Amino acid sequence: MSGPYKDALFSASSYDANDDMFPLAYGLFSSENYKDWLWFLEKLKMVIGERDVIIISNKHQGLFVVFQRKERKENALQMLDSIAYARLDCDYEVAMDTLRTFNHDLAKWVEENNPQHWAISKFKKMRWDKINES
């Protein structure tokens, strides 16, 4: 949020049977951090249940605090972008090898956090069914 209010607004939406968008959940938090994201997503999972879903998010600012020095942060973000946006498996593997050399723990974290849900080369479902920019 901007202006005098520095809180963070989290929201999740979906489509109904008529292809109309509707809100599933929203929350106002004091900041955008791991603890607040975890709480929000746990509550969202209670609403969604066991349905197959796809979550698309902007690059939330809470991830940036992981990296202390600016150049390390920028290097890591470029590597993560290369992993996420690699269209071919071979490009994904090259990007992962680069990340492993840079930070083995971060590469392990990437591998453990379901790249098939957010990395283009690993995402096997149709990607362009609905596009909404809010």
Q: What confidence tens digit (pLDDT) does each residue in 49-106 have?
A: 887 776 666 655 554 544 444 556 677 888 899 999 998 999 999 999 999 988 888 8
Question: Alpha carbon of 100 to those of 32, 41, 63, 79, 110: distances in Å?
Answer: 27, 28, 19, 10, 10
Angle formed at CA 23 by CA 20 and CA 25, multiple of 5 degrees: 160
Q: Please, which pLDDT band fits residue 126 given cuts at 50, 70 and 90?
A: low
What's the mean pLDDT in 4-22? 83
Distance CA 122, CA 63 (A): 22
Does the pLDDT of residue 131 top 90, yes or no?
no
Distance CA 62, CA 111 (A): 20
pTM as predicted: 0.45
Distance CA 107, CA 64 (A): 16
